[in-house]
Structure 1
């Protein structure tokens, strides 16, 4: 069942395997491998396990406001299966045990290793959940590099409609680091809760009247923590940045996404969820194929994002993830990790990555240009042991590949 990423991580680090065992007892793991049709999935349950195994790959059929369908690149990268990295029996078991349906190791369009499971195949689209936030970070870096956005200016400078709101007083940098002063989302299933009310605006809840995407951003309440002391992870930061980027670039965000998809040579259609206002929600709503997600992470690994993207990720002076108790330990499983530009960084490993609900994770090796991506269907938003296993295995794979060069 989908929960706040923050609440789930804290819960899992407290009671760990007890949570996993009780959830698994409720619905047998065998259900992960069963097929579903839209008619069999409750309208209010498509984000719940095991139905999400179908919905994640067909989410446009469930979203209240639909999606923008964007074309493949006019010059797609030629993706070739060349091998070069052997998936060991131990790694294969880890992939199966953590419900990974797509795993790809890629460099320059060459697939060194892959694993597809549970009917998922190359070319099929999957919802990235919060792993989509890195697309916002990359496009933000382009706007910063061109001088259209200043990281030190407040959100209300670019969106005057945010005057008087908490997030309106946050700087672009504070939103990019999840330090805007607004509360994290929680409880996505109770009408009236902040998580449920937000999901009405971005198409993930089909009951209740929305108040408007921008109005929901303005209505975000304050976090109980002082700015700079806690990683308050919330979708409104990402969607606000997207609205600002669209405004300064003079183009709808979906057009900017399409142009980015074209520039890294995406082979398949890419989609982005519409909101109640007719804008888009890249905080969760990008659907792409495993190969194209690997091409996007290759784009980052090859240094093609804006200079400010890499500069901000390298400068951890304003990081709040690594000062947040419990949370920092979860993400430090493979290496100490910081957060900026809507992305994670293992600075000691020279790896930038994205992570989203249910196990969507993509790692970009800045040192040698490799990408490792996972598309998964965990039973809950964030299963901490599975996430840590993903990160540790990916770093081991990247180090092995570096040694082969």
Structure 2
């Protein structure tokens, strides 16, 4: 019997802010004023997040063709989207929340069937959308599978798999420490600071523009090779959410499998889950996919992935596609003491120099 999957895909347009998000339905990029220089800006990102392939390099992820599609059926017991619910003592309406936060798609599965599905601002069950850090979940579960299969050793040093990272912050960290994000890394995740490492990271794939005279790293791998430790704190002591780690994980996956991460994603996930459509990854000029935040897919295919995780690694036909030990390890989670050491207390954690609450963005 399938496990229930509650609230899978809210796709919001608010990376920077939703306060000034402009509706994009029926508009062209020219009418929106969208260019490669302002992809993330809230005035245009309702367009750019649905049409990212117009602005950046991409890697295509094939679904294996229509014969591979596993139908996602609708339940005969639909969920009322006009429902009210309690949040921190305040009564809210679901549809009002979706509109207020500029959601583009909303889908809920129960026991593998659609009980709610709603699209906004020109999004549909067929259109792609930028998934940002949801991409990390795909990268992480593939890496966990390779560990379970014995193709990656959690106790091995990253530098033994990737010699190019030997003298970087990652070289002497173990694979497990990078997977768990407990390695010591100087990397600011502050989205309000244009000089932070996460913005420099984004420049390698064109998400943020390179200023005149820019002489920094041109590719994801070049960027990772230049990162250093944050002082002398030993690896493995504290958890910190740092996007760069996931692109190192993808590099480890590529090393272990002997092929680009995008091909591994296609072979292990996209062609085995019965996805309705192909997907694509943002990539750098060297054709390396952004495994930390570059995935673009449909809401229904995101729901298929979420249902697979809820069902212990099985697709909608009950076929095991992810090693069950990878699912068990993911469900077990990380070491609470290392989360506490990293500043996570009562649902808050420090990101760069800003305090952020857990929640859906």
- Normalising to structure 2: TM-score of the pair? 0.77
Q: Distance in 1 between matches of 2:287 and 2:308?
A: 29
Output one character per residue of 1:271-293: Cα deviation in whole Å (capped at 9) or x when no partner: 11222322211100111100000
**CA distance in 1: counterparts of 2:147 and 2:58, whole angstroms:** 30
TM alignment of 1:249-268, pairs within 5 A: 249-259=257-267, 260-268=269-277
Match of 1:356 in 2: none
Deviates more, 1:300-309 or 1:312-321: 312-321
Q: Give matches, 1:69-218, under 5 Å.
A: 69-73=61-65, 74-84=67-77, 85-89=79-83, 90-107=93-110, 109-186=112-189, 193-207=196-210, 208=214, 210-218=217-225
Question: What is the rounded CA distance, in whole Å, between the counterparts of 2:17 and 2:114 in structure 1?
Answer: 35
Say which is worse superposed, 229-238 or 281-290, in terms of deviation: 229-238
TM-score (norm 1): 0.69
Distance 1:317 1:277, change over 3 A: same
What is the aligned length? 315
Cα displacement (A) at 1:123: 1.1
Unaligned runs of 5+ residues in structure 1 are 1-19, 332-380, 392-405
Equivalent residue in structure 2 for 1:60, among 32, 53, 62: 53
Taking structure 1 as reference, are residues 169 and 36 closer, same or farther at Cα in structure 2, changes over 3 Å only? farther
d(CA) in 1 for partners of 2:310, 2:188: 30
- What is the RMSD computed on CA atoms of the aligned residues? 3.0
Distance 1:190 1:137, change over 3 A: closer
Shift, 1:263, TM fit: 0.8
SS at match of 2:104: strand
CA contact (8 A) 2:131 2:297 kept: yes
SS in 2 for 1:102: strand
- What is the distance in 2 between the residues matched to 1:242 and 1:143? 11
- 1:316-346: CA deviation from partner (whole Å, max 9, x where unpaired): 4535335433565148xxxxxxxxxxxxxxx
Contact kept? 1:66, 1:203, Cα under 8 Å: no
In the alignment, is the contact (CA less than 8 A) between 1:141 and 1:307 conserved in 2? no
SS at match of 2:116: strand
